[in-house]
Structures are given as C-alpha cells and as structure tokens.
Amino acid sequence: MLAGAMSALLLVSCSTPPPPPSSATPLKGESQTMVVRGEYRELPLDRVDRISLENGKFVFHGSTTVTVDPPASADPTKVDAHWMLVTEGKGDGTRTLTFTHNMALDDFTLELPASDAEFHYGVFSSPSSDGVMVFAWGAGSRCYWGFVTLQHHVNS
C-alpha cells in the first residue's frame, strides 16, 4: 500500500506543469544626469529580428511573434528619436551599452547579459518621466525584452 502511494506521489510530482516564465530582473542604468531604472525578462522566441507597434502594443518578431502591452508609463504613439546607441562593450558575462541623447548630450549605460545578438530599441515619450526605452535582443534560447524609464535628476 505504501509503495503504491509513493508511486502515485512520484507520478504527481513528475507531471506538474513547467514553471511560469521567469519573473522580471530589475535593471538600473548608470548616468551622471539621469535616474535609469526598469526591468527585463525572457522572451519566448528563437531570435529577435525586430520590434513593431501594432494596435498600441509592442510586437517582437522572430520566426514567430510575441505581443506585449507597453510599460504603463510609455506613450507608444510618441516616438523620441533622439537617443542613439554609441558604444557597446563586453565584460565578464555581460554586455554594456551606452546611449547618448543627440541634443541634450545626456547619456546612460546599461549592463545586460552577454550576447552577440543585435540589440533593438525604441524610446517613447512619457507623461511621468523623460522617456521610456523599450528594447529586445537575443538568439537561440536566450531572448529578452525589457524597458527602462529615464528621469533627470532633480538638480539637473
């Protein structure tokens, strides 16, 4: 009887559904003039080819597509085309990306998991901050998407 109960318990524990997709990883950028905070999470794609906007939502394209709601503070109808990726570096298991605003000359740096995949991003206006950057990158089983909110320091 006990052996039968243990077999049933083992079957139940082996047939549990897989865990939900990983939760968001907090992300804090470095800047002398801005507070840069957000998050990134896994994206269930085989690669990231591009990001598009469809019906007010972000669509991440690979061999299939994944659609997500925009971050609450982003206005996807107002693109801010002033931010440019200016330097990219590799560290010990990390990828460092530095962005500069082409008019204000503010800059910030993000440190993300290492990858050689192309980095896709867009910056959008926000009623509650100085902008929201939405981004995605990845290849194989390591694809991600995320966002950061850009806010000038009070004394800037």
What are the boundaries of each domain within the chain? 22-152
The model carries a pTM of 0.83
User: How high does pLDDT run on average in the chain?
Assistant: 86
Contact 29, 97 (CB under 8 A): no
As a whole number of angstroms, the distance between CA 135 and CA 156 comes to 26
Indicate whether 1 pLDDT > 60.
Answer: no
Query: DSSP secondary-structure letter at 79?
Result: B
pLDDT in tens, 69-96: 999 999 999 999 999 999 999 999 999 9
Tokens of 112: 């993300």
pLDDT at position 44 is 95
**Distance of alpha carbon 57 from alpha carbon 74, whole angstroms:** 11
Q: State which amino acid sits at residue 151.
A: Q
**Res. 18: pLDDT tops 80:** no
Q: pLDDT tens digit string along 96-119?
A: 999 999 998 899 999 999 999 999
Residue type, 80: D
Locate all alpha helices (DSSP H) within the chain, ordered by sequence. Answer: 2-14
